[in-house]
Amino acid sequence: RDRATIVVALDVSWSMEAEDVDPNRIRAAQAAAKAFIGSLPERFNVALVTFAGTPAVNVAPTTDRGVLDRAIDALVLAPSTAVGEGIYKSLDALKLVPPDPDNPDETPPAAIVLLSDGATNVGRASAGAATSAKEAGVPVYTIAFGTQNGYVETNGRREPVPSDPVEMAQIARISGGKTFTAGSSGQLKEVYSSIAKSIGY
C-alpha cells in the first residue's frame, strides 16, 4: 500500500526554546520533521498540526512536500501545552483527506506522529484523546523530546522544562502506537527514521 495519511503533530509551546538540544528544541524538531516527511512515499498524504495552548491544522492532508516544508519553517511558539487537543485536532485533519479516485469508499490507513517536550497543562486529557484515536483505528506514535535538564529563561529566571516520557508512553499504549524518547537532534532523526519504516504501508 503506498497510499496512507500521516499527521505530523508538533508541540510549539514556549518550552521548545530550551537549548538542551542543539541548537534548540524547536529548530531540531523542524529539521527532523522535514527530513521525515521527505522520506515518506510520494503518494502518502501528510498533514501538519501544531499545538501549544490551542491546536491548529497548519496544512491539510497533501502530497505537496514544499507546502509542508514552508509551514514547518514558519512555526511560531506560544504559551501552554494542550497535547490532548493536538490529538483531537489531528483526527479532525484526517477527515480532510481527499478520496482515492480508484477506491472512493475506502478509508486509507492513517497514523499520527506526535512530538512533545512537556506534559498537558490545558485542554482535554490526552488519555481520552488517545482512546478516540484507537476507536478511529489511528495509532499515535509519540516522541518525548528533550532532556530532564532543559530550561527556559523567563524574566531573568531559569524555569526547568523537563520532557515527560510518561504521558507520551501512555498515549502510544492506549492508541496502539509506539513511544520513543529523543534527547538530541541525532536521536530525533533516528526516531523519525524508524517510524518511517514502521508506517510504510
Which tens digit of pLDDT belongs to each residue from 120-148?
999 999 999 999 999 999 999 999 999 99
What is residue 99's predicted lDDT score, i.e. its pLDDT?
77
Quickly state the pLDDT bin for 101 (edges 50, 70, 90).
Answer: confident
Q: Which of 25, 36, 78 is nearest to 55 (CA)?
A: 78
What is residue 43's predicted lDDT score, i.e. its pLDDT?
87
Q: Which of 192, 184, 188 is nearest to 36 (CA)?
A: 192
pTM exceeding 0.85: yes
Quickly state the pLDDT bin for 106 (edges 50, 70, 90).
Answer: confident
What is residue 200's predicted lDDT score, i.e. its pLDDT?
63
Residue 104 CA to residue 122 CA, distance in Å, equals 38
What is residue 3's predicted lDDT score, i.e. its pLDDT?
75
pLDDT digits (tens, 9 = 90+) for 17-48: 999 999 999 999 999 999 999 999 888 999 99
DSSP 106-159: ----EEEEEEESS---SSS-HHHHHHHHHHTT--EEEEEES-TT-EEEETTEEE
Q: In this structure, are residues 128 and 23 in contact, taking their beta carbons and an 8 Å threshold? A: no
Mapped onto helix, strand or coil, the DSSP state of residue 28 is helix
Residue 184 CA to residue 29 CA, distance in Å, equals 10
Which residues sit opposite 154 in a β-bridge?
157
In sequence order, the 6+-apart residues with CB closer than 8 A to the CB of 70 are none
